[in-house]
Structure 1
């Protein structure tokens, strides 16, 4: 992937306007078409633009294909998180939960836990969702973190 291409992708996202889907799809299509067919990064961006425009069903395929082809770990983690969020939005909660529970991505901070909490809530597992969210939050508290973690653990015991 060239730095110039990524710079232009970053510029696209900086100017992204979800109120003009046709223009956004056309602009991303130009960028995607600059890459070789089957380029994982281009596929991830193509999925991302659909996702950001609320066209989640059209995002799943490109996301999955990008992951199958292979991305460097940080990009793969980001796309996995995006895919899981999209699957949750589509009502495919179990798939989302599985992806998020298996996502080891320290560079994403607590984002996987936040999205896992949403997915767990979506399937009616309110205690597990709250436990996930509170456990993630507890490590950031200057005081009472240990107490909060213990209370969170009690939710599903």
Structure 2
């Protein structure tokens, strides 16, 4: 029985190795060409390999194209986070913050959206908000002191909003 396209993509990522970038690009290109550059999932995977190889500037328009093509399902929240991370890495943290603040929550990515939002806020110089987001994401996982951490997190930005 032959593997589905998604199974072959998963196998690609299982063996991903940035020590051989040209081979990675060639292998992913072959997978993408099976579906075509007008397929949102193929475009997402093409963006992802560029991102993985540290080519965030090339990945950004590819992620945007995947989203414009109607990417949905489990890949959608991943694409939003990965696009935001790439934007942050190429010096556009404010755009990343906008994207992450409006991104839906997802079981597939959990609190990853909040982790990347905290990083982007930090890069924007909004350190209190970054720490608040990080602490609010962490608080529910604390077996003790979760309420105290949540309260302290709220205090980080309440004083700046009162001015």
Report the counterpart of residue 4 of structure 2 in structure 1: 4
Give the Å deviation of 1:134: 0.3
Report the counterpart of residue 34 of structure 2 in structure 1: 34
Superposition CA RMSD, Å:
1.0
Cα separation, 1, equivalents of 2:84 and 2:148: 30
Q: Does 20-29 or 64-73 show the bigger shift?
A: 64-73
Give the gaps of 5 or more residues in structure 2. Answer: 159-163
Give the gaps of 5 or more residues in structure 1. Answer: none
Q: Report SS of the residue matched to 1:34.
A: helix
Give the Å deviation of 1:73: 3.6
Q: Does 73-82 or 107-116 show the bigger shift?
A: 73-82
Report the counterpart of residue 23 of structure 2 in structure 1: 23
Cα separation, 2, equivalents of 1:58 and 1:92: 14
Q: Report SS of the residue matched to 1:155.
A: helix
Report the counterpart of residue 135 of structure 1 in structure 2: 136
Give the Å deviation of 1:36: 3.0
Q: Does 82-91 or 71-80 show the bigger shift?
A: 71-80
Report the counterpart of residue 115 of structure 2 in structure 1: 114
Cα separation, 1, equivalents of 2:101 and 2:55: 25
Cα separation, 2, equivalents of 1:47 and 1:36: 13
- Does the CA-based 8 Å contact 1:74-1:105 persist in structure 2? no
What do residues 43-94 of structure 1 show as CA deviations (whole Å, max 9, x unaligned)? Answer: 0000000000000011011110110111224321110111000000011011
Runs of 4+ in 1 over 4 A off after TM superposition: none
Report the counterpart of residue 101 of structure 1 in structure 2: 101
TM-score normalised by the chain length of structure 2: 0.92
- Does the CA-based 8 Å contact 1:57-1:90 persist in structure 2? yes
Give the Å deviation of 1:152: 0.4
Report the counterpart of residue 127 of structure 2 in structure 1: 126
Cα separation, 1, equivalents of 2:53 and 2:87: 15
Cα separation, 2, equivalents of 1:73 and 1:128: 30
